[in-house]
Structure 1
Amino acid sequence: MADFFSEEIIINILQRLPVTALLRCTSVCKSWYTLITSPEFISSHLHFAADCKKRTPFLLLRRRGGNSERYYLNSDNESFAQIATFEFPFRSINSWFTIVGSCNGLLCLSDDRVYYMHTVILWNPCIKKSVLLPKPNLIYSSYGSFMQILGFGFDPLASDYKVIRITYVDCGRGQPQVELYRLSTGVWQDLSFLALEYVIYNRSRQAYVNKATHWIARCTDCYDLIVLFDMCGEVFREMMLPVSLVDIGPMRSKDLVVYMESLAVIEWSVLGQEAGFCVWVMNEYGVDSSWTKHFSIDLHEFGGGYVRPLWVRKHGDVITVWQDGHLIAYDRDDAEVKDLGVHGSRCEDYLRSVHVDGYVKSLVLLEKGSCFSDAVTRSKLPALRTDDCDSVGSHGSDCEHSSESGYKHGHGSYGGLFVRQ
Structure 2
Amino acid sequence: MAPKGKGKKKGKGNSKKTENRAQEPTPNCIFKPEIISNILSRLPLKTILQYRSVCKQWKKHISKPDFIATHYRHSSSLQSTDSSMIIIQSLVNESNDHVLLRHKPPDSTVELNNPYPCVLSQMSIAGPVNGILCIFRPSFGDVLTLWNPALSKSKMVKLSETNPSQKVSVGLAFDSLKKDLLILRIFCVPPFPGCTKTKVEFEIREMKYPLGWETLKSRTNYFYIDKPSCDAIFKAEPYWLSYDYEEYIPGKYQRLVHFEVSKMDFEWWILPFIGVGDYYANLANFEDSLGFMVWKKTDNSYIDVWEVDDKKFQWRKKCKLGPLSGFCRILGCLRNGDVVAENDDGVLLFYTVNKSEVVVQNDENLYPCSVKNTLTLYNTKKGSHVIFDCPEGLLLIEGMVTIEPQDGLKWKSLLSTSEDFMRAL
Band the TM-score falls in, shorter-chain normalisation? 0.7 to 0.9
Q: Which amino acid aligns with 1:221?
A: E
Residue among 126, 140, 150 paired with 1:126:
150
* Residue in 2 that maps onto 1:30: 56
1:295 match: 320
Matching residue of 2:281? 254
How far, CA to CA, are the matches of 1:40 and 1:212 in structure 2? 19
Q: Deviations over 1:329-355 (max 9, x none)?
A: 3456575642623113697x5412x12
Alignment equivalent of 2:231, drawn from 185, 190, 206: 206
Conserved? CA contact 2:88–2:101, under 8 Å: yes
1:220, distance to aligned residue in structure 2 (A): 2.7
Residues 146-161 of structure 1 aligned to structure 2 (within 5 Å): 146-161=166-181
The offset of 1:365, in angstroms, is 0.6
* Per-residue CA distance 1:368-398 (angstroms, 9 max, x = gap): 4xx421449979xx94437749xxxxxxxxx
Q: CA RMSD in A?
A: 3.6
Paired amino acid for 1:324 = D
Q: How many residues are paired up?
A: 362
In structure 2, runs of 5+ residues without a counterpart are: 1-24, 249-253, 358-367, 420-425
| Residue number in structure 2 paired with 1:72 | 102
Match of 1:344 in 2: 377
3-state secondary structure, aligned to 2:245? coil
Question: Are residue 188 (structure 1) and residue 216 (structure 2) matched?
Answer: no
Within the candidate set 105, 127, 130, 2:131 is matched to: 105
Name the CA shift for 1:179/1:158 in 2 (closer, same or farther; >3 Å).
same
Give the corresponding residue for 2:12: none
CA drift at 1:267: 2.8
Amino acid at match of 1:372: M
2:9 alignment partner in structure 1: none
CA contact (8 A) 1:324 1:345 kept: no
Greater relative CO (CA pairs within 8 A, separation 6+):
1
Q: Secondary structure at the match of 2:222?
A: coil
SS of residue in 2 equivalent to 1:351 = coil
TM-score normalised by L of structure 1: 0.73
Find out whether 1:165 has 2:185 as its counterpart.
yes
Between the aligned partners of 2:387 and 2:64, the Cα distance in structure 1 is 31
Q: In the TM superposition, what is the alpha-carbon distance from 1:194 to its structure 2 partner?
A: 3.9
Contact 1:105–1:361 (CA<8 Å) still a contact in 2?
Answer: yes
Contact 1:325 1:346 in 2 (8 A): no
Larger Rg: 2
Unaligned segments of structure 1, at least 5 residues: 76-80, 390-421
Matched residue type, 2:345: D
Structure 2 vs 1, CA of residues 30 and 329 (structure 1 numbering), >3 Å: closer, same or farther? closer
Shift of 1:165: 0.8
Match of 2:294 in 1: 267
- Please name the residue that 1:220 is paired with: 245
> How big is the shift at 1:96?
5.6
Secondary structure, in 3 states, of the residue corresponding to 1:24? helix
Instruction: Give the Cα–Cα distance (whole angstroms) in 2 for the partners of residues 286 and 92 of structure 1.
Output: 44
* Partner amino acid, structure 1, of 2:376: H
Matched with 2:260 is: 230
Instruction: Tell me the amino acid that sits aligned with residue 108 of structure 1.
Output: C
How far apart are 1:197 and its partner, in Å?
A: 0.8
Q: Which amino acid aligns with 1:228?
A: H
Q: Secondary structure at the match of 1:119?
A: strand
Decide whether aligned partners of structure 1 residues 275 and 226 sit closer, same or farther in structure 2, where only a CA change above 3 A counts.
farther
Residue in 2 that maps onto 1:78 = none
Q: Is the 8 A contact 2:87 2:390 kept in 1?
A: no
Secondary structure of the corresponding residue to residue 135 of structure 1: coil
Aligned residue for 1:181, secondary structure, equals strand
